[in-house]
Amino acid sequence: MGFFSKIRESLDVRNYKIVDSQDYGRITQDHYSMRKTINDEYLHANSRASTPYPFMDTPDGSKIPMWRVAPNRMYELADYVGDLRAVIETIQREMFRNGIEVIPRYEHKCLVCLKEYEQKPLKEFLPLTKSRTGLAKEKLMCSACGNENPRKWTKPDPKNRQILQSLIEKRVNNNQQSLKLVARQAERDLDIIDGCYILVSRKWALKVLEEPDPLTGATKEAVDDIKISKLDEIIRIHPIQCSLIASDEATLGIGGDGKPRYICPQYEHRDHILEVPVCDKCGCKAFNAFLETNSVPYGVPLSSPKKMYYTQKEIIWIPGKYYPDVLYGNSPIQSVWKKVMSLMHQDEYMWKYFDKDRPPKSLLVMGSRNAESVASFMEKQRQGARQDPYMPRPILLNTDNVGQALQYVDLTPNFKELELNDLRKELRQIISTVYGVQPLFYGEQAKAGLGNEALQVTLTNRTIKWFQRFFNENFFDEITDILEIYDWKIELVTSEEIDELREEQVRGQKIDNTVKLYGMGFDVAFDGENNIQISQYPNPEKQEAMMGGGAGQNIGAGNNDKTTSSSPKKEGEAQQFDGQPKIARPSDKVGTGEGDPRGSGTGTTLSNKGMSKKDWDKFLKSIDED
Closest listed residue to residue 147, CA positions, set 174, 182, 120, 110: 110
Question: What's the per-residue H, E or C state across 443-512?
Answer: CCCCCCCCCCHHHHHHHHHHHHHHHHHHHHHHHHHHHHHHCCCCCEEEEECCCCCCCHHHHHHHHHHHHH
Closest listed residue to residue 124, CA positions, set 110, 134, 138: 138
Does residue 606 contact residue 600 with C-beta atoms inside 8 Å?
yes
As a dihedral over the C-alpha atoms of residue 134, residue 135, residue 137, residue 143, rounded to 10 degrees, the angle is -60
Does residue 55 contact residue 287 with C-beta atoms inside 8 Å?
no
Q: What residues of the chain score a pLDDT lower than 50?
A: 1, 7, 11, 13-15, 29, 32, 34, 38, 299, 448-450, 528, 550-568, 571-572, 574-580, 590, 592, 599-600, 602-608
Buried b (16+ CB within 10 A) or exposed e, 475-502: bbbbbbebbebebbbbbbeebeeeeeee
Residue 193: per-residue pLDDT: 94
Q: How many CA atoms lie within 13 A of 356 on its CB side?
A: 1
CA 48 to chain centre: 30
Q: What does the alpha-carbon distance between residue 20 and residue 26 come to, in Å, rounded to a whole number?
A: 10
DSSP 92-131: HHHHHTT-EEEEES-SEEETTT--EESS--BSS---HHHH
Residue 552: per-residue pLDDT: 42
Q: What does the alpha-carbon distance between residue 438 and residue 429 come to, in Å, rounded to a whole number?
A: 8
Element (H, E) at 624: helix 613-625
Does residue 570 contact residue 156 with C-beta atoms inside 8 Å?
no
- Burial class of 464 by CB neighbour count within 10 A (0 to 12, 13 to 18, 19+): buried
Which pTM does this prediction carry?
A: 0.69
* Phi, then psi, of 407 in degrees rounded to 5: -140, 155
Does residue 532 contact residue 514 with C-beta atoms inside 8 Å?
yes
As a dihedral over the C-alpha atoms of residue 81, residue 84, residue 86, residue 88, rounded to 10 degrees, the angle is -130
Closest listed residue to residue 197, CA positions, set 261, 241, 263, 139: 241
CA 257 to chain centre: 37
As a dihedral over the C-alpha atoms of residue 343, residue 349, residue 352, residue 354, rounded to 10 degrees, the angle is -90
Q: What does the alpha-carbon distance between residue 273 and residue 251 come to, in Å, rounded to a whole number?
A: 17
Amino acid sitting at position 237: I
Q: What does the alpha-carbon distance between residue 446 and residue 448 come to, in Å, rounded to a whole number?
A: 6
Residue 321: per-residue pLDDT: 93
Residue 118: per-residue pLDDT: 84
Q: What is the pLDDT of residues 134-184, one digit of tens each?
A: 556 778 888 888 888 988 999 999 999 999 999 999 999 999 999 999 999
Does residue 96 contact residue 180 with C-beta atoms inside 8 Å?
yes
Cα Rg of the chain (Å, integer) = 42
Q: What does the alpha-carbon distance between residue 181 and residue 184 come to, in Å, rounded to a whole number?
A: 5
Does residue 105 contact residue 487 with C-beta atoms inside 8 Å?
yes
SS3 call for 211: coil
Q: What is the pLDDT of residues 509-543, one digit of tens each?
A: 888 988 888 888 888 876 545 678 888 888 888 87
SS3 call for 621: helix
SS3 call for 405: coil
Tell me the CA end-to-end span of the chain in Å, nearest whole number.
Answer: 155
Element (H, E) at 82: helix 82-96
* Phi, then psi, of 230 in degrees rounded to 5: -75, 160
Q: What does the alpha-carbon distance between residue 51 and residue 25 come to, in Å, rounded to a whole number?
A: 39
Does residue 334 contact residue 322 with C-beta atoms inside 8 Å?
no
